[in-house]
């Protein structure tokens, strides 16, 4: 049975790691999958050591006929993430193993600068020189990155098959933000707009992952949450907030919809589904108005769940199966 090796930050909290784990746990029919972690959370030295360990492990795999993968599936963001995956792609090419570069970053175009920049030309020429298959997360990202990189393929993020609607009773006026501790995720903005909403809904509360403390007693700052705790929050909260400054394709949006939980997302989040409510990035009044509106509506859980049908693993794997087989010839 042919094997695909996923290389990337599979042990680092975040959406990219979750996508890697889903794809490895549920490979396409007729394929087996393995994960290789290339990143850790920590100091620059710790990250460098993790990368070096991954390179050494990958080299051993390539030189061992019993462990050698048939396809290398590289998961990358921008900047240093790209430079690390570029090295893995070169190693695979030298060993005669085809690669797929899977771009997850919502800042890849910003990092490249312009279609004619030295960095864009370098990335474009490198991908072409070793005949790499390059994948982005949506049609919107295809349009945005094509002038920088050239030919791209589109495969959406999958939703964890374990996430389904629940019979649990949703708590009234309970806002939720799930994201790492990063300013682009909008934790401070979420606290600001929640405080404004509380002037009319004094019992409203906000739960956030990523942050471990808050100045407000009505904010439950949870830090890191386990998968089980996340599932429980998705099944009991009233509304998910995604006020991000930028995103690739946030998995949490599809997880919320799969759980029957309404979502309001920033207009900086590309190509949201029609079932996702959109508010202007950084516009407090627009967000407060939208939150009141959604909280006053009844929830069509079945409609929300059905809206992510194209993100179910069996649909996503049909695309990966075709892509792997076309590369593995």
pLDDT band at 198 (very low <50, low <70, confident <90, very high): very high
Q: What is the DSSP letter of 184?
A: G
pLDDT(230) > 70? yes
| pLDDT tens digits for range 309-323 | 999 999 999 999 999
Q: CA 185 from chain center: how many Å?
A: 13
Over residues 102-127, mean pLDDT = 94
Q: pTM value?
A: 0.89
> What percent of the chain shows pLDDT beyond 90?
83
21 CB neighbour count, 10 Å cutoff:
16
pLDDT(152) > 80? yes
pLDDT(99) > 90? yes
The string of DSSP letters for 60-113 reads HHHT-TTT--SEEEEEE-STHHHHHHHHHHHHHHHTT--EEEEE--SSHHHHH-
| pLDDT tens digits for range 272-284 | 689 999 999 999 9
> What percent of the chain shows pLDDT beyond 70?
99
- H runs (alpha helix) in the chain: 15-25, 44-62, 80-94, 108-112, 118-129, 139-149, 187-197, 227-236, 251-258, 284-296, 301-306, 313-327
Nearest one of 57, 47, 115, 42 to 83, comparing CA atoms: 47
Give Cα separations from 163 to 19, 228, 254, 257 (angstroms).
14, 10, 10, 10
pLDDT(203) > 90? yes
How much is the CA Rg of the chain, to the nearest whole Å? Answer: 21
The β-bridge partners of 208 are 177, 221
| pLDDT tens digits for range 31-78 | 999 999 999 988 999 999 999 999 999 999 999 999 999 999 999 999
pLDDT band at 194 (very low <50, low <70, confident <90, very high): very high
Over residues 282-297, mean pLDDT = 97
What pLDDT score does 292 carry?
98
pLDDT(204) > 70? yes
What pLDDT score does 247 carry?
83
What pLDDT score does 329 carry?
62
pLDDT(270) > 90? no
192: left (phi over 0), alpha (psi -120 to 50) or beta: alpha
What pLDDT score does 271 carry?
65
Nearest one of 267, 249, 261 to 303, comparing CA atoms: 261
Where do the domains of the chain lie, and which CATH numbers do they carry? 3-158+312-327 (3.40.50.2000), 174-308 (3.40.50.2000)
| pLDDT tens digits for range 156-170 | 999 999 998 888 899
Distance of alpha carbon 231 from alpha carbon 86, whole angstroms? 35
- Take residue 56 and report the two structure tokens written for it: 């050494």
Over residues 242-253, mean pLDDT = 88
Average pLDDT over the chain, rounded to an integer: 94
3-class SS string, 144-183: HHHHHHCCCEECCCCCCCCCCCCCCCCCCCEEEECCCCCH
Nearest one of 308, 324, 321 to 158, comparing CA atoms: 308
Q: Which residues contact 40 (CB under 8 A, 6 or more apart)?
A: 11, 12, 46, 47, 50
């Amino acid at each position: 049975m042919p094997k695909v090796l996923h290389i990337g930050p599979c042990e680092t909290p975040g959406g990219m790691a979750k996508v890697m784990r889903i794809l490895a746990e549920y490979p396409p029919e007729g394929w087996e999958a393995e994960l290789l972690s290339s990143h850790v959370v920590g100091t620059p030295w710790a990250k460098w050591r993790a990368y070096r360990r991954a390179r050494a492990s990958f080299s051993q795999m390539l030189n061992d006929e019993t462990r050698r993968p048939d396809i290398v599936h590289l998961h990358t963001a921008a900047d240093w993430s790209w430079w690390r995956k570029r090295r893995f792609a070169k190693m695979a090419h030298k060993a005669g193993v085809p690669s797929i570069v899977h771009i997850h970053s919502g800042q890849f175009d910003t990092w490249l600068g312009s279609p004619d920049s030295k960095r864009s030309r370098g990335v474009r020429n490198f991908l072409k020189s070793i005949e790499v298959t390059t994948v982005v997360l949506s049609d919107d990202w295809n349009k945005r990155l094509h002038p920088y990189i050239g030919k791209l393929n589109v495969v959406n993020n999958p939703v964890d098959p374990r996430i389904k609607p629940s019979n649990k009773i949703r708590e009234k006026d309970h806002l939720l933000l799930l994201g790492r501790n990063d300013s682009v995720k909008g934790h401070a903005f979420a606290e600001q707009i929640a405080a404004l909403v509380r002037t009319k809904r004094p019992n409203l509360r906000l739960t956030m992952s990523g942050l471990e403390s808050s100045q407000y007693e009505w904010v439950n700052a949870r830090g890191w949450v386990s998968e089980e705790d996340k599932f429980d929050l998705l099944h009991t909260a009233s509304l998910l907030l995604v006020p991000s400054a930028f995103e690739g394709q946030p998995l949490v949006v599809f997880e919320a919809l799969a759980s029957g939980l309404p979502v309001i997302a920033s207009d900086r989040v590309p190509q949201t589904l029609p079932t996702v409510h959109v508010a202007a990035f950084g516009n407090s009044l627009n967000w407060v108005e939208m939150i009141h509106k959604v909280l006053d509506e009844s929830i069509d859980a079945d409609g929300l769940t059905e809206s992510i049908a194209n993100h179910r693993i069996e649909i996503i794997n049909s695309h990966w199966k075709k892509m792997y087989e076309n590369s593995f010839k």
